[in-house]
Amino acid sequence: MKIIPDFYFAGQRNASIPLNRRQNLMRRELLEVFDNTFPERDYIIEIVNPEFTSVCPKTGLPDFGTITVTYVPDKVCIELKSLKYYFLDFRNAGIFYENVTNTILDDLVAVSQPREMSVKSEWKARGGITETVTVTHSGRKA
């Protein structure tokens, strides 16, 4: 199990937190859903958070990005206030961009079971380099 030597959480150095445990710091139980009033219809919901923040696990410096969640709901839809609080859990967590994006997709799929979903994270420049990560899920029923 790989250990990230310079991992920060809430501004404190935590060198002993294993890489695979960092996702557990984000609380999936914060997420709430509500019944989809039109489950027989395919329609697209797009949610954009232009003020997403997390922390670089190597330097402890803040990372700023935009998270876009696009999905076709099945039986339930994601409640936005709960999603806002879920996103805030990442604010002081040292986590790589790829892990942020995949963790969000995994958690949202687990609570909402959408027909389709994608999560895209677009990160502000750091050292002149930007990064965009996109992950997808297709839960279509045959």
Give the residue ranges of the annotated binding site for substrate.
78-80, 97-98
46 SS3 class: strand
Residue 56 is among the residues annotated as catalytic for this protein? yes
Active-site entry in 6, 35, 42, 63: 63
**Residues 99, 57 contacting (CB under 8 angstroms):** no
Sequence ranges of the binding site:
78-80, 97-98
Residue 42 is among the residues annotated as catalytic for this protein? no
Strand 116-126, strand 62-72: pairing: antiparallel
Q: Give 41's Cβ-side CA count (13 Å radius).
A: 7
**Residues 94, 120 contacting (CB under 8 angstroms):** no
Tally the residues of the chain.
142
Active-site entry in 56, 74, 89, 106: 56
Q: Which two tokens stand for residue 89?
A: 């859990």
Which positions are annotated as active-site residues? 56, 63
